[in-house]
Each structure stands twice: as C-alpha cells, then as structure tokens.
Chain A
Amino acid sequence: MKKRYAGKSIILLVVTALLVFLAACSSGKSANPGNSSNSPAANSPAASPSGSQTASAGSAFDWKKYSGQEIEVMLNQHPYAEAIIARLPQFEELTGIKVKYSITPEENYFDKLTTALNARNGNPDVFMTGSYQLWEYAPAEYTQELDSFLKDPSKTDSGYDVNDIFKGILDGDRWDLVPGHPVGTGSLWALPLGFETNVLVYNKRALDSIGAQPPKTFDELIEIGEKLNGWNGEGSYGVAVRGTRSWATIHPGYMTAFSMSGAKDFEVKDGKLVSKLDSPEAIEITKKFAELVKRAGPKDWTNYTWYQASSDLGAGKAAIAFDADIFAIFQGSKGASKEAGNLGTAPPPIVKEGQPVGANEWIWSIAMNKSSKKQDAAWLFMQYFTGKEHTLWGATQASVFNPIRSSVWENPDFIKRISEFPGYEATFKAVIGNTGIKFTPQPEFFNTTTEWAAALQDIVTGQSDADSRMKKLAKDINELVSRIRAQ
C-alpha cells in the first residue's frame, strides 16, 4: 500500500516536472513552420541567379560557402512571399542552405515581427518589411546595414548588379536615421522585393455604362464616382478606398492625393519636426477626400482594408479603386475574379492644374536581423530573391508586381505579360518619374499616421469638421514627435 502511494506520487511529480519543462522550453517558433522540402517546386531548374556558373575554385564568391546552415525567415502573407516559397528548392540546391519560414497575415505580421526582433536572439535571420517600418527598426538596431555586404565581392555575386534596381526604389530603403531627413541618404537597410504605386484601377464596363473616361482630376473622380453608385445593382458603388483606423488607410490613395495637392506632413524647424497637417492645402485635400468617400465611397468605409477594396473591385461592386496598381494584376489576371478582363489602369487624378502626376509608393523588402548569427547565409538568401533571375521569374510566372529591376521591364516576356492589362504599362511610365515615398521619415510614423486615420474617420463620419480636426491632429502629432529620442 505504502509503495503504491509512493509510486503514484513519483509519477505525479515526474508528470508535473515534464509539463513545466515542456511549457518552458516551447519556443516562439512559427505556427506555420515551413520547410522548403514541402514547397511546390517551380519548373525552372536551379541555376546561379546571375546566369554565371557556380564560382570555380579560387574565386572569392561562392554560393555554396555556407552550405549546411539553416536560416529562419519571417514572411508576410503576400504574393511576393508565395513566389519566394515556390523557388526555395532552387535556392537550397544552389547554396545547400536550409530555409525554415513562417507566414503571417498582414494584420498581425508586424506585431509578431516586432516582438521577435525585440528578443534580439537572432531569430528570424531574414524578414519581410516595408520601408516605413525601417524608420522604427533601424534606429532600434534591429536591422543590419547592407552596404558593407553589397560592396564586398566575397559576399555578393558579381552578377547581382545592384544598379539594375530602380534607384528610387532602392533609395526607399536607405535612410540616415535623422528624423526629417528624406529617404535616399545614409545606409541601406533592406533590399526591395517589389513595389506598388497608387493609381486608379477602373472597371471598363462601369465607365462605359455612363459614357465616361477615366477621371483626370480629383473633382472629376468625385463626380464620376458619384454617378457610378449602383452601377452594377444593389450594393455597388463608385470608388473603393481604404478606411480603417490604421496607418494603411493614409498611405495609398489619400497620401497620393495629399502630396499632389502640395501639402506636406512635416517640415523641419530648428532641427525639430513640426506637423503641417493644419496647413490650408492639407485641410483642403482632406475635405475633398472626405467628400469622395461620402459621395462615392463604400457605405461601411471605416471597415475597409486593402482586401475589401481589392475584392470589391474584382467582384464588380466597386467601379474604381484608388489604391495599389497591383489590384489590376491580382484582380485582372485571367480567372482571378469575376471582373477579370474588364479592368483598366489610369494615372491617379491630379489635384492642381499643371501638376506632374506622381504617386506615393509602398515597397515590400527583405531585411537582415542585426542579431542574426548567420548573416552571411542570410545575405545569400537576400541576394538570390532580389536577383535578376528570381525577379524575372516572379514577374513573368508569378505575381511579383511591380518588379524592382529595369531589366525586367525591358524583357519581352514581361512586356507581353503586362500587355494583357490595359493601361498598366502606360500608367506606370506616366507616374514612375514622380513616384516616391512622400512621407517624412521619422520613428513615430505609425503613431502619427494611425492618429491621422482616426482624424480622417472623424471627418468622414461627421464627428468633426475638417478644419478643427486637422488642427487638433497637428497639435497631437507635434506632441507625439516631441518624444522622439536623440540617437
């Protein structure tokens, strides 16, 4: 009897200890651990991405130098990530490096990424990021500067050709960490994977139904958008734009129109950032944008994210989307949506006469964790998936739009592909010269743009008028940026 009790107690103790040990040892590893051996292989055989042979003996650079290592990659759920996963077998065959990846939907991706980077334990080695996020990550020393890797011939393949990447796009990932200084100066913090400009993607059937052409000015957009309400039956409306209480609402169509109106988010006075959201231009364009939403936008606009705006366009609910140009690809590709084949692309509407057309851009990039213990292996991953071969494959065989390399835009296969999307190439050429990041880089970017989105919601829903709300916003933002700490 005593022995039975003793035995049971020992078992209980062991089970308890085991449970505690397992709970303590469970790491923050991904919910969707991906192993590249499970990924569908793309058809093309593995080849050195620049077209050159694997470095012969005696050459400094060698794709196989870090063979046997394993790196961890965090990816946002996006077609760019799907393209990477599809070609992981080729990368592994070329380098011998094993890749473990995780994918997280964008709504939660950056929360998860920030927490992982803050642990500073080296995981992940590589991660997807936007340019704006670099304004927080670089000053916090989460990201590794990349110029030293690019300039080192023993680390970078001679065929990588960084000059083939659009300078404006590469500069979007370059910043000197001084709040208020524009992008394009300082260190390079990430390599671009793909980028979006913000334009009008319209349904040709919708415009034909009222005998209209794509609007050229913002006022035309409002007028035509209002006429298109109900164009395709109940629930259909004129212009899809994003509206959630989030920074993602500000950066596409709204910021494009904002910047074209001549308004600026900040100016630098005596070395300090001063909000200019209470300027007459800022208030005026905000009023116009609110009018667009009220007269032609979706009724439940405050719930609208990238996904709702894009899917409404593809479903034939929205006649026009003032958002990422890649909507035309994702919704317009054969079989992609109900309205595939009916979509066209046009430059964003100008706000002032005689103004050059341009857009705010969003760049998805990959960056290296400064704490990574496998930086050289990580660098091979980064240069492979931003190299010429993968960029061309992504643009012609997958959905990596817009490709970052000018050589891809001159490639006959790519030109043939984008000719399937009416107006796409012409629109791109019309805006690219004046497209860039229109925001002022600063580490409180997400604070300020989230408050900005909340203000926009208040104005659109009638909680507040534009004048007083934008003035309050400017005051709140000045207080937010005053807590930027000197580096």
Chain B
Amino acid sequence: MSSIGKSDQAVPFADLTDTAASAEPYRIPPIPFMRKARPYLILAPALLLTIGILIPFFISIYYSLTNYSFKYKDYSFVGLHNWVKMLTDPSFWHSLWVTAQYAVFSTGFEMLLGIGIALILNQDGWLARALRMVLIFPLMIAPVIATLIWQLMTNNSVGVIAYALRSIGIDNFIWGADPKTAMFSVVLIDVWVNTPFVIILVLAGLRSLPKAPFESAMVDGGSAWFTFKTLTLPMIKPLLLIALLFRSMVSLQEFSIIFALTRGGPGDTLMSLPLTAYNEAFTFKELGTALPYMLILWVIIYIMSYYLIRYWSRAQKNASGN
C-alpha cells in the first residue's frame, strides 16, 4: 500500500502536513474590491484637482494660438503669431525685466529680514514671545488691503507717513507716483506683508534644531558667527530653500499690490508680466495676445522651481546626515 498521501503518525504534527487532508491547493483569498480601490479613492480628490487645473491650462495654450477677443464674436487659429508678436515687442522684455527686479528685490529682502528677525525671536523671553505674535499680523492682511493702507498712509495730502516725512524736511517723496520710487514702494509693501511668512518658517526650523551641537560649540569657544555659519545655516538650509521657493514663485506672479497701487504706472514703470497680461485680457480684451505672457511666466516659474526643488532634496539629505 502506498504511503503517499498518508501521514506518518509517529512524526509530531504530522497530521498538519497531511497531504491527503490538504489535497486542494491553497488559494490566496481574493482582495475585496474596496480594498483595491482605496488607494485610488484617497488619490481621487488630488487627481480631480489636477485634471481641473490642467483643463484650463491646455485650453489657454490653445487660445494663445488664436485671435480670441472679447470684442468680436468669432475667432480663428493664427498659429504662433501671438507668440512671435510678444517676443519681438520691446515692452515684453521690459515687463520681463520689471518682473525679475520685483521678484529679486522682494524675495531677497524678505529672506534676509526673515532670517535676521527669526534669529532675534529665537529667544526665551517675554519680549520675544510678544513680538512673535505682533510680527505676523501683516501676513493676516490681504495684499490689496495692505496696499490700500499704505496708499492712504503715504498719500501726500492726508497720509501719516507723508506728514512724518514733511516734519523732518522731506517734502517731495511721492512713493508710487514717482517712477524713481515706484519699485521701492511696491517692494516695501510686499516685504511688509510677506516677511512674516519667512520668519515663521525659519523660526520653526530654529526651534526644532538639536541643542547638543550648539552646546558643544559654546563649550569649544565658537563665536556666534562661526556657530551660525557652520551649524545653524546648514541645518536650516532645507527650510530656507522652501521659503525661497514659495516666495520667489509668488513674487514672480505678483499682481494685486502693483495693480492696487499704480496699475502698472507711472507710465510703464511697473508693467510686470501679470499686469501686462491683465491689461491685454481685460482692458484691451485680447485674450489671445494676453495668454502668451502668462504661459511664458509659467515656464520660467516651472524651470526655476524644478532646480530649486532638486537643490532642496540634496540639502535635506545633507542636513539629515545622509
């Protein structure tokens, strides 16, 4: 008699490997449908949002290749005509220069001020705690409202800042109304509104740093600058890059502050790419010629953020010691 298929009773737990008892092959139970679908359901809102953003994006690329205008009922395909017209228009290069200036100045000052103020606020004292609350107030104000506040304060007839300047003998400082000081005015408002964002990020980073390396540096007699340069800065670099990424992306697209203060004037002094696009679309009602300005801006921001994110990844690895 064959012993195949029969367990050897002398072997402990032999019955568990009784092949006769387990003649049917073991099947993995089917995964329930909802469990399979769960990852997609969780991703669904983000996916829908992405599709929701991509649809108007591709439509705008299409319209940039047409002469779509709010002034006429019909439109036709014109190929790259709007793009060539934009790239050969000197005012486009002027707008690009204004946009770059605005982004560099506002982001630069915000980063420097933000880091400096965060270092000062990174103390344990009642003053630092109180200032932490007060200094984030501007961030709670919408940029347009902040611009109107500054416009009123600097108004030559009724403004409190204008009054203060006159009392120290400065009578002709007309802020956004003067081409020489218009850029300074809008950058100042932007810095006032958005530096708290940098402060919050950097302060959060500083508060989360380990104490041990700093204590060792202190024991070894390292100066404050040495400590900052060799310990603090490398460790908070990822956060600084995040702040830089966000601020530069937003400042390149800045519209509300410039529009509310001067509408791009005086003359063309502050006609940045977003302002020019707005003018083309809503004042001149030429959507086809407006869209290339915004799409070019999108390309610039995409390239810049791609490299910044790559650099940020490397900085993060270095900061975590990998």
Given contacts A9-B34, A136-B71, A485-B72, A111 and B282 within 8 Å (CB-CB): yes
* Residues of B with C-beta under 8 A to A259: none
Asked if A458 lies at the interface with its beta carbon under 8 angstroms from chain B, I say: yes
Name the one of B41, B71, B72, B265 contacting A457, with C-beta atoms under 8 angstroms. Answer: B265
How long is the Cα–Cα vector from A302 to B155 in the complex, in angstroms? 11
| Shortest Cβ distance from B263 into A: residue | A245
Q: Which B residue sits closest to A108, measured CB to CB?
A: B282
Within the assembled complex, what's the spacing in Å between the Cα atoms of A301 and B156? 10
* Stretch of A91-99, A163-171, A205-213, A446-454 with 4 or more beta carbons under 8 angstroms from chain B: A446-454
**B282 and A114 contacting across the interface, CB-CB below 8 Å:** yes
User: Which listed residue, A12, A303, A444, touches B176 by the CB 8 Å rule?
Assistant: A303
B156's partner among A136, A235, A244, A458 (CB-CB below 8 A) is A235
Give the residues from 1 to 55 in chain A that come closer than 8 angstroms, CB to CB, to chain B.
2, 5-6, 9-10, 12-13, 16, 19-20, 23
Q: Which 6 A-B pairs have the closest CB atoms?
A: A245-B265, A300-B177, A235-B157, A458-B267, A299-B156, A317-B157
23 contacts between A and B (CB under 8 A): A6-B32, A9-B41, A12-B42, A16-B41, A16-B45, A16-B48, A114-B285, A117-B70, A139-B72, A140-B71, A140-B73, A245-B266, A245-B267, A246-B263, A298-B156, A300-B176, A302-B262, A302-B265, A315-B157, A450-B279, A458-B267, A461-B178, A461-B266
Other than A16-B45, A298-B156, give 16 A-B pairs with Cβ distance below 8 A.
A5-B38, A6-B32, A9-B37, A139-B71, A140-B72, A140-B73, A245-B262, A247-B283, A298-B157, A303-B261, A315-B158, A450-B284, A457-B266, A458-B266, A461-B267, A463-B179
Q: Cβ of B211: which chain A residues have Cβ within 8 Å of it?
A: none
Number of B positions contacting A (CB below 8 A): 44
Q: Is the CB of A236 within 8 A of B157?
A: yes
**Chain A positions 435 through 456: 1 when the CB is less than 8 Å from some CB of chain B, otherwise 0:** 0000000011011001001110
Give the size of the chain A interface in residues (CB under 8 angstroms): 53
In the complex, are the beta carbons of B262 and A303 less than 8 A apart?
A: yes
Taken residue by residue from 286 to 308, chain A's Cβ proximity to chain B (1 for < 8 Å, 0 otherwise) reads as 00000000000011111100000
Is B162 part of the contact surface with A, judged by Cβ < 8 Å?
A: yes
A118 on the B face (CB < 8 A) = yes
Decide if B42 touches A446 in the complex (CB within 8 Å): no
Alpha-carbon separation in the docked complex, A2 to B38 (Å): 12
- Chain B residue nearest to A13 (CB atoms) is B41
A237 interfacial contact with B, CB 8 Å? yes
Contact with A along B220-234 (1 / 0, CB 8 A): 000000000000000
Residues of chain B with a CB closer than 8 A to A136's CB:
70-71, 285
The answer to whether B177 and A20 touch across the interface, beta carbons within 8 angstroms, is: no
Tell me, rounded to whole Å, the shortest Cβ–Cβ distance linking A138 to chain B. 10
Contact A446 B267 (CB under 8 A): no
Residues of B within 8 A of A444 (CB): 284
Asked if A302 and B72 sit within 8 Å, CB to CB, the answer is: no
CB distance from B72 to the nearest CB of A (A): 6
Is B166 among interface residues, defined by CB-CB distance under 8 A? yes
Interface residues as binary, A344-365 with B (CB distance below 8 Å gives 1, 0 otherwise): 0000000000000000000000
Which chain A residues numbered 405 to 448 have a C-beta less than 8 Å away from chain B?
443-444, 446-447
Contacting residue for B151 out of A111, A299, A303, CB 8 A? A303
For the complex, is B268 an interface residue (Cβ under 8 Å from A)? yes
Instruction: State the majority secondary structure of interface residues on A.
Output: helix
Chain A positions within 8 Å of B178 at CB level: 461
Helix, strand, loop or mixed for chain B's interface?
Answer: helix
CA distance A447 to B284 in the complex (A): 5
**B174 and A5 within 8 A (CB):** no
CA A2 to CA B29, docked complex, whole Å: 13
Let me know if B172 is at the binding interface, CB within 8 A: yes
When the two chains form their complex, are residues B35 and A5 in contact, meaning their CB atoms are under 8 A apart? yes
A234 within 8 A of B: yes
Minimal Cβ-Cβ distance residue in A for B42: A12
Is B145 in the interface zone, CB < 8 Å from A?
no
A124 to B163, CA, bound (A): 46
Query: What are the residues of chain A within 8 A of B42 when measuring CB–CB?
Result: 12
Interface residues of A (CB under 8 A from B): 2, 5-6, 9-10, 12-13, 16, 19-20, 23, 110-111, 114, 117-118, 136, 139-141, 234-237, 243-247, 298-303, 312, 315, 317, 443-444, 446-447, 450, 453-455, 457-458, 460-461, 463-464, 485
Interface of B toward A, CB cutoff 8 Å: 32, 34-35, 37-38, 41-42, 44-45, 48, 52, 70-73, 151, 154-158, 162-163, 166, 172, 174-179, 261-268, 279, 282-285
What's the Cα separation between A12 and B45 when bound, in Å? 10
- A213 to B: closest C-beta gap in Å: 25
**Bound state CA distance, A453 and B179, in angstroms?**
15
Q: Which of B156, B158, B176, B268 contacts A454 (CB 8 A)?
A: B268
With CB as the reference atom, state the residue of chain B lying closest to A7. B34
> Smallest distance from the beta carbon of A238 to chain B beta carbons, Å?
12
- Find the residue from A298, A302, A446, A461 having the highest chain B CB count within 10 A: A302
Q: How far is the CA of A245 from the CA of B260 in the complex (A)?
A: 11
Give complex CA distance A263, B227 in Å: 71
Which among A10, A19, A237, A243 is the interface contact of B45 at CB below 8 angstroms?
A: A19
Residues of chain A with a CB closer than 8 A to B151's CB: 303
CA distance A461 to B262 in the complex (A): 14
Q: How far is the CA of A114 from the CA of B174 in the complex (A)?
A: 34
Select from chain A the residue with minimum beta-carbon distance to B180: A461
Least CB distance, A108 to chain B, in whole angstroms: 9
Q: Judging by beta carbons under 8 Å apart, are A114 and B157 in contact?
A: no
Closest Cβ of chain A to B76, distance in Å, is 10
On whether A20 and B283 interact (CB within 8 A), knowing A118-B70, A298-B156, A299-B174, the answer reads no
Q: How far apart are the CA atoms of A464 and B268 in the complex, in Å? A: 12
Given A114-B285, A461-B179, is A300 in contact with B267 using a C-beta cutoff of 8 Å?
no
Query: What distance in Å separates the Cβ of A174 from its nearest Cβ neighbour in chain B?
Result: 19
What separation, in Å, do the CA atoms of A237 and B265 have in the docked complex? Answer: 22
Please measure, in the bound complex, the distance between the C-alpha atom of A485 and the C-alpha atom of B74, giving whole angstroms: 11
Given A5-B35, A461-B179, A463-B179, A446-B285 contact (CB < 8 Å): yes
Contact for A300 among B34, B73, B166, B175, CB less than 8 A: B175
Residue of B whose beta carbon sits closest to that of A450? B283
B177 touches A302 (CB 8 A): yes
| Cβ–Cβ < 8 Å partners of A139 in chain B | 71-72
B176: nearest chain-A partner, CB-CB: A303
CB distance from B231 to the nearest CB of A (A): 45
Cα A234 to Cα B175 in complex, Å, equals 18
Q: CB distance B283 to A447 under 8 Å? A: yes
A114 to chain B: which residues have CB within 8 Å? 70, 282, 285
Whether the Cβ atoms of A463 and B266 lie closer than 8 Å is yes
Contact B166 A234 (CB under 8 A): yes
Contacts of B157 in A (CB 8 A): 235-237, 298, 312, 315, 317
Bound complex: CA of A334 vs CA of B176, how far in Å? 34
Indicate if the CB atoms of A244 and B71 lie closer than 8 Å. no
A112–chain B nearest beta-carbon distance, Å: 10
Q: Considering only CB atoms, which chain B residue lies closest to A232 in the complex?
A: B157
- CB proximity of B89 to chain A, nearest CB, Å: 11
Decide if B177 touches A454 in the complex (CB within 8 Å).
no
Min C-beta distance of B84 to chain A, whole Å? 15
A20 to B71 alpha-carbon distance, docked (Å): 33
Query: In the bound complex, how far is the Cα of B176 from the Cα of A350, in angstroms?
Result: 32
